[in-house]
């Protein structure tokens, strides 16, 4: 049975953990995370940084860290690398900066990588609630940013991971002060909050419109390098974690050299896909043409094609405007099917089998 997304009482009954309310409150959480980060003592680095390696798992935090990489791609001199292996890459040494980002502090891949990082002599910063990661940080005297307990990690990944990391990197002397962009982001999301709220009807609510349009189709999200590829990944992850649907993401222009050949799939098959194309003010002119050409080709082949666009001035604000939209849309994509966004059976079964 399909749920009417304009039926507020029904939505709130299904959303038992109140993720819609928590998502609407992103501006509040961002301010909270920023204030906590400003009070966090970080000294400028007294050594060079050859690379920044981030160890993390989980859809929301990982997407926020990719967003960090995208945001700083033309500012920070050291490459930002996401590592999700059980060990550290061979290039990690005393001139590396390592961020251990794990909400529970107990994910075995991250803890294993952390142990390897300790032996390298790298500078290490830990963001966690507790668990083994916190224990190791305290044991070895590493910088420890305490994440708030009792939250859903993907809900606070922008406010308490992305924002604090921007502050930490600034304090270390690696990037410019991000306060103006952070404050613009808070103000912008406050302005947008009513547009995506449950009380706003489908006719005026883009997040609900996306969920309705996507319902019953397989989502594919395309961003562009070097900025909105991270937003495409986040949307894919949020659709998996919140909506309980398989989704796929890719980035231009690379996809036009391989994946686009799949657009020649049988017409009945391709009509089962919903494509989201992400646009941003800083898209290079060739990327703008690629987006337009992609839309033109897919509109006659796919089940549906939708373009979404960022708003705002600063890069942070624009990227967070997209996150705000897609995070709401992913929740509505669950609720329209009567699915509680916090329930997950298959992953729990996997964990049971994996842990013996």
Q: Is 232 helix (H, G, I), strand (E, B) or coil?
A: helix
What lies within 8 Å, CB to CB, of 29 at 6+ separation is: 22, 155, 156, 158, 159, 160
User: Burial, 343: exposed, middle or buried (Cβ in 10 Å; 0-12, 13-18, 19+)?
Assistant: exposed
162 vs 62, 101, 180, 297, CA distance in Å?
Answer: 10, 10, 15, 35
The answer to whether 340 and 14 have CB atoms below 8 angstroms apart is yes
CA distances from 252 to 121, 238, 290, 293, 350 (A): 37, 21, 8, 12, 33
Q: Are 92 and 98 in contact (CB under 8 A)?
A: yes
d(CA 285, CA 282): 9
- What local confidence, expressed as pLDDT, does residue 63 receive? 86
Residue by residue, pLDDT tens for the chain (356 residues) are 699 999 999 999 999 999 999 999 999 999 999 999 999 999 999 989 999 999 999 877 888 889 999 999 999 999 999 999 999 999 999 999 999 999 999 999 999 999 999 999 999 999 999 999 999 999 999 999 999 999 999 999 999 999 999 999 999 999 999 999 999 999 999 999 999 999 999 999 999 999 999 999 999 999 999 999 999 999 999 999 999 999 999 999 999 999 999 999 999 999 999 999 999 999 999 999 999 999 999 999 999 999 999 999 999 999 999 999 999 999 999 999 999 999 888 988 998 898 88
d(Cα 336, Cα 210) in Å, to the nearest integer?
11
- The rounded distance, in Å, linking the Cα atoms of 72 and 90 is 24
129 neighbors 144 (Cβ within 8 angstroms): no
- Report which of 72, 283, 107 is spatially closest to residue 294, judged by C-alpha positions: 283
Q: What is the pLDDT of residue 6?
A: 96
**Calpha distance 179→30 (Å, rounded):** 12
Nearest CA-CA partner of 334 in 249, 199, 230, 238: 238
pLDDT at 57: 93
**Distance from C-alpha of 30 to C-alpha of 301, rounded to nearest angstrom:** 40
Phi, psi of 167 (to 5 degrees): -65, -45
Domains annotated for the chain, with CATH where assigned, are 8-16+192-335 (3.40.50.10490), 19-177 (3.40.50.10490)
Consecutive H or E run containing 320:
helix 315-335
Cα separations in angstroms, 267 against 215, 255, 263, 291, 299: 19, 20, 9, 21, 12
Distance CA 52, CA 64 (A): 15
Those residues whose C-beta lies under 8 Å from the C-beta of residue 226, and which sit 6 or more positions away, are 70, 73, 74
């Amino acid at each position: 049975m399909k749920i009417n997304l304009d039926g507020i009482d029904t939505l709130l009954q299904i959303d038992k953990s109140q993720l819609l309310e928590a998502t609407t409150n992103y501006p509040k959480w961002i301010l909270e995370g920023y204030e906590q980060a400003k009070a966090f003592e970080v000294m400028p680095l007294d050594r060079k940084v050859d690379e920044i390696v981030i160890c993390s798992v989980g859809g929301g935090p990982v997407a926020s860290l990719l967003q960090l990489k995208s945001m700083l791609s033309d500012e920070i001199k050291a490459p930002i690398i996401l590592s999700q292996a059980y060990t550290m890459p061979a290039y990690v040494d005393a001139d590396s900066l390592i961020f251990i980002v794990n909400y529970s502090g107990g994910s075995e891949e991250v803890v294993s990588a952390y142990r390897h990082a300790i032996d390298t002599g790298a500078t290490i910063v830990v963001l966690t609630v507790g668990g083994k990661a916190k224990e190791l940080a305290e044991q070895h005297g590493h910088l420890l940013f305490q994440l708030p307990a009792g939250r859903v990690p993907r809900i606070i990944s922008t406010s308490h991971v992305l924002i604090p990391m921007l502050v930490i990197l600034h304090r270390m002397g690696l990037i410019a002060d991000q306060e103006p962009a952070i404050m613009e982001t808070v103000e912008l999301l406050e302005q947008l909050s009513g547009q995506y709220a449950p009380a706003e009807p489908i006719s005026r609510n883009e997040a609900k419109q996306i969920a309705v349009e996507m319902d019953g189709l397989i989502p594919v999200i395309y961003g562009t390098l070097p900025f909105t590829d991270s937003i495409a990944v986040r949307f894919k992850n949020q659709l998996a974690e919140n909506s309980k649907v398989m989704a796929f993401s890719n980035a231009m222009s690379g996809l036009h050299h391989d994946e686009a050949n799949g657009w020649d799939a049988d017409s009945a098959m391709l009509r089962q896909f919903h494509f989201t194309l992400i646009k941003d003010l800083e898209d290079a002119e060739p990327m703008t043409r690629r987006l337009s050409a992609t839309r033109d080709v897919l509109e006659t082949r796919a089940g549906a094609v939708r373009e979404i666009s960022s708003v705002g001035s600063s890069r942070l604000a624009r990227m967070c405007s997209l996150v705000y939209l897609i995070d709401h849309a992913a929740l509505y994509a669950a609720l329209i099917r009567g699915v509680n966004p916090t329930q997950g059976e298959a992953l729990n079964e996997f964990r049971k089998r994996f842990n013996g």
